[in-house]
Structure 1
């Protein structure tokens, strides 16, 4: 599948979120993030909005999640036969729960 670099980054964000126990992201959180420039936020949001339905599911107007097909495609591209480790850039882009979240 031919995805833009930004769309691959969205899949990476979603994989990192899943790793942290977050199943859905909110496009408004990505769009209005202070850790990124407005241009990057816009590109990531547009990438999510234009992602093929097969790879990303929308829940209402703002929340989205990766599909099983999206997980498989990500693993195929970055996994080399195993489950790849998503980048930590997602931690700066979205507010994922920290370790203290899991201790309670």
Structure 2
């Protein structure tokens, strides 16, 4: 879940919607349920909820992700999140 949140943050999306994750047509239903359950059960120190459906990674969550997967540097989140959630493409960015 932290990887999804970090990829979303990298793409400029700071909040995810649990309904979007749960009802994703590209994932098997059991994977969608597991990801949604992971989001719902993450400690509040790592994930902040905004209303009933939207959530975001906290700074402590980002630090944990970087420590766990960075091995001394900032890790690059996987692109799995691109299939799980609707993230903006390159055309979204203005130079």
Shorter-chain TM-score category?
Answer: over 0.9
Counterpart-to-counterpart distance in 1, 2:13 and 2:24: 17
TM-score by length of 1: 0.89
Give the CA deviation at 1:19. 0.4
Ranges of 4+ aligned residues in structure 1 off by more than 3 Å = none
Which residue in the other structure is 1:89 paired with? 80
Which residue in the other structure is 1:103 paired with? 94
Compute the RMSD of aligned alpha carbons.
1.0
Describe the superposition over 1:59-86 as per-residue Cα deviations: whole angstroms up to 9, x where unpaired.
0000000000000000000001111000
Provide structure 1 residue ranges, at least 5 long, that are not aligned to the other structure: 1-9
SS at 2:76 equivalent: coil
Which residue in the other structure is 1:17 paired with? 8
Counterpart-to-counterpart distance in 1, 2:10 and 2:59: 14
Provide structure 2 residue ranges, at least 5 long, that are not aligned to the other structure: none
